[in-house]
Amino acid sequence: MNFNDVYRAILKEYPDILTVEEMSKALGVSCKTGYQLLRENKIEHLKVGRSYRVPKAHLLSYLRLGMQSVTNS
């Protein structure tokens, strides 16, 4: 599965800027894990007031890095 397939299969239906809940659902993880990924700066994000927003481009970068580490193993 290449990167474009991942985008079409997972992220195409989501808005350009995701909430933590949307991001977590797309990644198939709990919201708790989603917040942990943000706190550990594994996924670049924006903080708007007290809430987090994740641009789809940043989530794609995170997925791309993960796919590269899997293929390089």
Q: Which residue has the tokens 């899997």?
A: 70
Question: In the structure encoding, which two tokens stand for residue 45, read together?
Answer: 């994000």
Count of structural domains, the chain: 1
Q: How confident is the model at residue 73 (pLDDT cuts 50, 70, 90)?
A: low
Amino acid at position 11, single letter: L
| pTM across the whole model | 0.81
CA distance linking residue 70 with residue 57, whole number of Å: 20
- Tell me the per-residue pLDDT of 33-59, one tens digit each, with 9 for 90 and over: 999 999 999 999 999 999 999 999 899
Tokens of 66: 């993960």
CA 6 to chain centre: 12
Note down the domain range covering 41: 3-71
Edge-first strand listing for the sheet containing 51-55? 17-18, 51-55, 46-48
Domain of residue 66, CATH code: 1.10.10
pLDDT at 3: 66
